[in-house]
Amino acid sequence: MDIKISVKNLEAFYGKNKVLKNISIDIPRNKVVAIIGPSGCGKSTFLRCLNRMHEVVGGTITGSILVDGEDLTKTDPVLIRKRLGMVFQKPNPFPTMSIFNNVAAGLRFNGVRNKKILAPIVEKSLKQAALWDEVKDNLEDSGVNISGGQQQRLCIARTLAVDPEVILMDEPASALDPISTSKIEELIFELKKNYTIVIVTHNMQQAARVSDFTAFFYMGELIEYDKTTKIFTNPSNKKTEEYVTGRFG
Amino acid sequence: MNSSKFFHVKRKIISAVMMSLSLVATLIAVIPLVLIFYYTISKGITYLNIDFFVAMPKPVGESGGGMANAIVGTLMLIGIGGAIGIPVGVMSGTYLSEFGNNKFGATVRFLTDVLSGIPSIVVGVVAYTLVVVPMKHFSAFAGGIALGILMIPTITRTTEEMIKLVPHSIREAGLALGIPKWKTTILIVLKTAWKGIATGILLGLSRAAGETAPLLFTALGNRFWSTNVMQPMASLTVYIYDYAKSPFEDWNNQAWTAALVLIIMISMLSLLFRIITRSKFKTK
């Protein structure tokens, strides 16, 4: 299997509190990996370790995270975040920027100011995020005057515009209505052709629908990691079985 | 039945009394404002003409004349004060909110609060000691420094509060795009909070425009036209102070006009800020 991200013995802390215990997991290229588990199991923390956002809120990590063989824990976090884009739980477009500038933000603030270069990238990103047809006539409108589902797709477009290799999604549809949710899920299906995707979700049907592999986290430990079909039909671990069948969590 | 009716009436009476008391208190609060406007407009309007803006003060005994030097002087003094107070205030406010979550930040926060409570005349004395005495003469520069110091606490604390209102998710969005922290802070967080910060700046400038005490022994005042910042400079507030306490009726009237012009200038400044900070997006 072609491995994109290889996590070895990852431990994450908030102060002295250990929130991830000895996680080792391989994430294959151009696949969707779903992270499931009850609240507080460390799924979001795991995701935020991958693009070094965990340390923004004062956390620390040990272990190694290899992306194409390069250890992220020893690289400049600013560079890492361009390679591993992130979509958050709640849509968070920049309120003072137009739709166009929201998508272009990552490039503009890293020195690309020429609109002739930006325009095609913005269009491509919005098309990839399946938002282009809805906003193409209003690119100069505010990024927060569109619906929540559109805002989330705008945030996805914004992430795609900096041309990442991996997209990390932290419950990207949990604040959205069912129609917007299904749009995001279709989008994930399209995006995995070009990107490696790691998605944290509370919704087990969603994990089953969109992912190729599923990892079950519990109390900061990786309990089971396997093909999604196996996790949901014939899990090896009793805890996993209890969780996916809804007996706890 | 009777007792319940009694309580009902009692409650109604208490409610009516309290309501009237609140109304009276509100009226009392508004009265000074109305009086200020009434007197400055009715008394100030007499001398309000083009001359007031373009002509120089006339010597005692001659009627007419204007305060062109004082209007320009006030604008310049606010300008110098703003050039000092705005950058220091905005930057220290940004520091306090984004990086000041430590002992040093708490100390600065406390000292800023203390500074905002210091009487403006004391700030004037400090500027006198630090600038006027070594330079051996009064100057607009010294006055501007005094005004700048007075603006700093207002602008610092407003900036800090406004930046704190920017949701954490906006900062995370910037960082997650691979935008360095300093750029995220300036180009995204500060920009998002900009409207509120501008209000703080406006408050600081308005307060400075209305100060007299710190100018008395720094910028001093000037009967003549001068735009040299190293020389004494006229200002509307000092003119109001001098003319209002003078025995000449003509001067007293001009003091009212100066007060009116000062109020108009501050309103224009406020309007200008509204226009500058207006959102380019239509609000739905």
Nearest CA in chain B to A155: B173
**CATH code, domain carrying A149:** 3.40.50.300
Q: What is the mean pLDDT of chain A?
A: 91
Q: Which domain holds residue A128?
A: 3-244
Is residue B284 assigned to a domain?
Answer: no
Is residue B90 assigned to a domain?
Answer: yes
Which of B171, B176, B191 has its CB closest to that of A86? B176
Question: 3-state DSSP call for residue B157?
Answer: helix
Angle of helix B103-117 relative to helix B140-164, nearest 10 degrees, comes to 130
What is the CB neighbour count within 10 angstroms for residue B33?
Answer: 9
The pLDDT of residue B1 is 54
Please answer yes or no on whether B176 and A88 come within 8 Å at the CB atom: yes
pTM score: 0.82
Q: Which residues of A touch B182 (CB under 8 A)?
A: none
> What percent of chain A clears pLDDT 70, i.e. is strictly above it?
100
pLDDT in tens, chain B (284 residues): 567 788 888 999 999 999 999 999 999 999 999 999 999 999 989 888 888 888 888 887 787 788 899 999 999 999 999 999 999 999 999 999 988 889 999 999 999 999 999 999 999 999 999 999 998 999 999 999 999 999 999 999 999 999 999 999 999 999 999 999 999 999 999 999 999 999 999 999 999 999 999 999 898 888 888 888 888 899 999 999 999 998 888 888 889 999 999 999 999 998 988 888 887 775 54
Give yes or no: residues B12 and B37 share one domain.
Answer: yes
The pLDDT of residue A249 is 62
Tokens of A29: 């290229």
Min distance A201 CA to chain B CA atoms (Å): 19
Residue type, B248: F
Please answer yes or no on whether A109 and B179 come within 8 Å at the CB atom: yes
Residue type, A240: T
The pLDDT of residue A174 is 87
The pLDDT of residue A183 is 87
Whole-number Cα distances in Å, A48 to A44, A61, A88: 6, 11, 10
Q: Say how far apart CA A189 and CA A205 lie, in whole Å.
A: 15
What is the CB neighbour count within 10 angstroms for residue A228?
Answer: 21
Angle of helix A115-128 relative to helix A99-108, nearest 10 degrees, comes to 110
Is residue B25 assigned to a domain?
Answer: yes
The answer to whether residue A135 scores a pLDDT higher than 60 is yes
ipTM here: 0.89
Min distance B180 CA to chain A CA atoms (Å): 6
Please answer yes or no on whether B284 and A94 come within 8 Å at the CB atom: no
Nearest CA in chain A to B189: A94
Min distance A18 CA to chain B CA atoms (Å): 23
The DSSP secondary structure of B66-133, one letter per residue, reads --HHHHHHHHHHHHHHHHHHHHHHHHHHHHHHHT--SHHHHHHHHHHHHHHHS-HHHHHHHHIIIIIH
Q: Say how far apart CA A24 and CA B232 lie, in whole Å.
A: 74
Give yes or no: residues B35 and B162 share one domain.
Answer: no
Give yes or no: residues B70 and B206 share one domain.
Answer: yes
Does B284 reach chain A within 8 Å, measured CB to CB? Answer: yes
Q: Say how far apart CA B154 and CA B120 lie, in whole Å.
A: 13
Task: Say if CB B57 and CB B69 are below 8 A apart.
Answer: yes
Does A95 reach chain B within 8 Å, measured CB to CB? Answer: yes
Domain count, chain A: 1
Instruction: For strands A3-14 and A59-67, give the pairing.
Output: antiparallel
Angle of helix B249-276 relative to helix B236-244, nearest 10 degrees, comes to 160
Please answer yes or no on whether A109 and B173 come within 8 Å at the CB atom: no
Does B278 reach chain A within 8 Å, measured CB to CB? Answer: no
Domain count, chain B: 2
Tokens of B148: 């700048």
Q: Say how far apart CA A94 and CA B175 lie, in whole Å.
A: 12
Please answer yes or no on whether B175 and A159 come within 8 Å at the CB atom: no
Give yes or no: residues B159 and B269 share one domain.
Answer: yes
Within 13 Å of residue A232, how many CA atoms lie on the same side as its CB? 18
Please answer yes or no on whether A96 and B183 come within 8 Å at the CB atom: no
Does B176 reach chain A within 8 Å, measured CB to CB? Answer: yes
Which residue's entry shows tokens 């995204």? B188
Q: Which of A34, A32, A25, A29 is nearest to A4 (CA)?
A: A29
Domain boundary, last residue among B31, B47, B63? B47
Query: pLDDT tens for residues A153-206?
Result: 999 999 999 999 999 999 998 888 888 888 889 989 989 999 999 999 988 889
Query: pLDDT tens for residues A21-45?
Result: 999 999 999 999 999 999 888 999 9
Interface with B, mutate which of A76, A92, A110, A174 (most B CBs under 10 A): A92
Give yes or no: residues B31 and B131 share one domain.
Answer: no
Give yes or no: residues B138 and B206 share one domain.
Answer: yes
The pLDDT of residue B282 is 57
Give yes or no: residues B18 and B136 share one domain.
Answer: no
Residues contacting residue A180 through CB under 8 Å, at least 6 positions apart: A147, A148, A149, A150, A152, A173
A41 DSSP 8-state letter: S
Which of B178, B281, B284 has its CB closest to that of A78? B178
Give yes or no: residues B79 and B36 share one domain.
Answer: no
Residue type, B258: A
Task: Say if CB A28 and CB A3 are below 8 A apart.
Answer: yes
Does A56 reach chain B within 8 Å, measured CB to CB? Answer: yes
Q: Say how far apart CA B240 and CA B224 lie, in whole Å.
A: 16
Give yes or no: residues B29 and B82 share one domain.
Answer: no
Is residue A42 assigned to a domain?
Answer: yes
Give yes or no: residues B22 and B126 share one domain.
Answer: no
Give yes or no: residues B99 and B116 share one domain.
Answer: yes
The pLDDT of residue B284 is 42
Instruction: For strands A84-87 and A70-71, give the pairing.
Output: unpaired
Is residue B81 assigned to a domain?
Answer: yes
Q: Which domain holds residue B13?
A: 2-47
Q: Say how far apart CA B272 and CA B268 lie, in whole Å.
A: 6
Q: Which residues of A touch B172 (CB under 8 A)?
A: 53, 56, 88, 92
Give yes or no: residues B42 and B58 share one domain.
Answer: no
Is residue A249 assigned to a domain?
Answer: no
Tokens of B248: 């000449």
Task: Say if CB B216 and CB B122 are below 8 A apart.
Answer: no
A90 DSSP 8-state letter: S
